[in-house]
Structure 1
Amino acid sequence: MKTIIIGLLSLITTGAIAQKLNSQTTKNYIMKKVKFQSSGLELVGDLYLPVNYEEGKKYPAVPILGPMTFAKEQAPTEYAKRFAEQGYVALAFDPRYRGESAGLPRELEDPIAKVEDAKAAAKYLASLSMVNDEQIVGFALCQGSSEMLRAVSEDSIFKGLVTVAGHYRDREGDIQWMGTEEALEERIASGKVAYNTYKQTGEVINVPAVDETRMDVGMPGKFVWDWYHTWSDKGIWVNNYPKMSDALLFEYESLTAAKKLEKPYLMIHSDNSFLPEVAKRQFEAVPATMKKLQWEGETGHLQYYDDTEILDRTANQAIAWYNSIFE
């Protein structure tokens, strides 16, 4: 199992503005710290605006979901800046349980909660005076893609979707992710034990989110460790994973949502993005008449997170797609 999982993971290498807390202006964008509600919990985000935005003018807007266990300061911020530079209002936010947002237990990985948080983020954007509520679109990376896919398919507030290097979810893909069906069942079982322990006693059983050698963590493998632990060292991201997350994580699938998606959809993926055959399977399931699969050869999964050239290219592709929807 260890060899299989590490082999798979090696692919990863190749409201109102009055709610603001503070703001930051550069020559390319304005960032305002904001708060909004989701299921009664306070979420915190960084709202990025075009530097020359005009009062009274309406702009398209995009809430952003990042990968499994993400913090908003990671890839979501990189894309939010680029969207703002091209005339969009973009929201990078911490989902409940993580970062600056509320919710217990901390660092819980709950895909359904992220779906609801993405919808809440879109509704928050729609409440802003400078946002065109007919031009709100979804954007997501890695596992956030499977959650944003469901949010966009379920809520009419979204008018389109772009997903990048997506980790899409179905049973066959989860078995491939874990290496064997037995390994998947073991992880589900231990997650349920931890979940029942929490329900009965309030105790949260935690393991690291990433580790170089341990296989019982959220995302095992050296290559994931190499990328994530630097964020932990900076104090920006917490290397923690409540084990009961597995009881929620592996109940989730995105194929059903893909089969219901009628809105314009751009999927950006590559041979070296995670589980490429699963991505193709989910794309084929989408019934939307306006859809495109942008396949990018050997671009590495993590290049979509922090490689400047790839970030620029991907943001430009997303903006071009969104603009085509609004024509």
Structure 2
Amino acid sequence: MTNSSITKVRFDSAEPGVSLVGDLYTPAVSRPDSAAFVIIGPMTFQKEQAPTQYARRLAAMGHTALAFDTRYRGESGGEPRAWENPFHKVADIISAAAFLRAQPGVNPDRLIGLGICQGSSEMLRAVAEDDTIKAGVTLAGQYRDHEGDIEWLTEEGYAARLAQGQAAKAKYEATGEIDYVPAVDETDMNVGMPGKFVWEWYHVWADKGLWDNRYAVMSDADLLPYESISAARMLTKPYLLIHSDNSFLPDAARRHFEAMPSTRKTLLWDGDTPHLSYYDQPEVLDRTASAIDAWVSQL
């Protein structure tokens, strides 16, 4: 392991006048086979959460890593706030990759996208569509296809959330008014990410004032129609997919892996590791970062 430095960086998004903010982790000593990672996290994430955990570890191993806030969250710009738009996230990944590629010491042929939870579905599409991102790694992914969405929300729940999101977006476009609900709640299911186990992890950040527990209802008009299975079918680059029996929607993860035509894909099935352990449990973070490092060293 080596020491690393952290630099606050700002770069342009695809939206005119809107900047993205990230933390750039640079190793004290770069390895001959070092890579550069652009990292995004779960639905409603801010960079200080899981992305920072992986950026620190990968930089300590000799790699460069960029953990950044996508539009509408954290330190990055964009309105309305707390708008969960996966199409914009894909564009932001590509903007971040362009910024990272231009940094001193970065080998553009070893630029890798890393996505966590729902960030996996957005990273998968960015890797498939952007030629400058040379390989992809996703872990504990929420991969998006119709079967997975219905398993996540049920047919009735999906239809209700989509209708509410479309109505809220129409209202915003007509009046500029934004409807919000909490991003998480212990008992209320009419929130961005329903479920007690999600609330138990996120509310700690909210209680400390480190994360905005807010979700724009109009998000569902963009989030729910998004899918990643078509991107998986396009994927010909090296790809490492890390998942477990207790990660979210394991069948969707398998469907996506099987759909990839790449002959350089690797599936690391991590037993029964709990989903949220990939966010903050040191032993799981260390093990996963080491697995990523070992895989990258073989590229």
Equivalent of residue 202 in structure 1, options 161, 176, 182: 176
Q: Give the structure 1 partner of residue 255 of structure 2.
A: 281
Gaps of 5+ in 2: none
Identity %: 57
2-side partners of 1:234 and 1:277: how far apart? 35
Question: What is aligned with 2:108?
Answer: 133
Q: CA deviation at 1:73?
A: 0.2
Matches within 5 A, 1:235-314: 235-314=209-288
Does residue 321 (structure 1) correspond to residue 295 (structure 2)? The answer is yes
Is the aligned partner of 1:231 residue 2:231? Answer: no
- Report runs of 4+ in structure 1 exceeding 4 Å deviation: none
Which of 24, 41, 44 is 2:21 aligned to? 44
Deviation at 1:199, TM superposition (A): 0.3
- For 1:20, the equivalent position in structure 2 comes to none
- Aligned equivalents of 2:30, 2:158: Cα separation in 1: 49
* Kept after mapping to 2: 8 A contact 1:109/1:248: yes
Q: Is the 8 A contact 2:165 2:220 kept in 1?
A: yes
Q: 1:321 deviation in Å? A: 1.3
> CA deviation digits over 1:264-318, x for unaligned, max 9?
1111000000000111011100000011111111100011000100101100111
CA drift of 1:52 comes to 3.3
Alpha-carbon separation, structure 2, partners of 1:168 and 1:58: 30
Q: CA 1:58 to 1:295, structure 2 compared with 1: closer, same or farther past 3 Å?
A: closer
- Aligned CA RMSD, in angstroms, stands at 1.4
**TM-score normalised according to structure 1 size:** 0.89
Which amino acid in the other structure matches residue 148 of structure 1? M
- State the Cα deviation string for residues 11-53 of structure 1 (Å, max 9, x = none): xxxxxxxxxxxxxxxx721100000111132000000011235
| 1:1-327 paired onto structure 2 within 5 Å | 28-39=3-14, 40=16, 41-53=18-30, 59-178=34-153, 180-325=154-299
SS at match of 1:131: coil
The answer as to whether partners of 2:33 and 2:297 remain within 8 angstroms in 1 is no
Letter in 1 for 2:76: S
Q: Aligned residue pairs: how many?
A: 297
**How far is 1:78 from its partner?**
0.4
CA distance in 2, matches of 1:98, 1:183: 26
The alignment partner of 2:266 has SS state of: strand
User: Which residue does the alignment assign to 1:21?
Assistant: none
1:58/1:130 contact within 8 Å kept = no
Q: Aligned AA for 2:222?
A: L
SS at match of 1:124: helix
Q: In structure 2, what residue type is equivalent to 1:294?
A: L
Once residues 52 and 297 of structure 2 are traced to their aligned partners in structure 1, the CA distance between those partners, rounded to angstroms, is: 21
Name the aligned partner's letter for residue 49 of structure 1: T
Partner SS, residue 114 of structure 1: helix
Once residues 157 and 32 of structure 1 are traced to their aligned partners in structure 2, the CA distance between those partners, rounded to angstroms, is 23
- Alpha-carbon distance between aligned partners in 2 of 1:225 and 1:218, rounded to the nearest angstrom: 11
Q: What secondary structure, in the 3-state scheme, does the structure 1 residue paired with 2:35 have?
A: strand
In the TM superposition, residue 140 of structure 1 has moved relative to its aligned partner by: 0.9
1:14 aligns with: none
SS at structure 2 position matched to 1:46:
strand
Q: Give me the TM-score of the superposition, normalised by structure 2.
A: 0.97
Structure 1 unaligned regions, length at least 5: 1-26
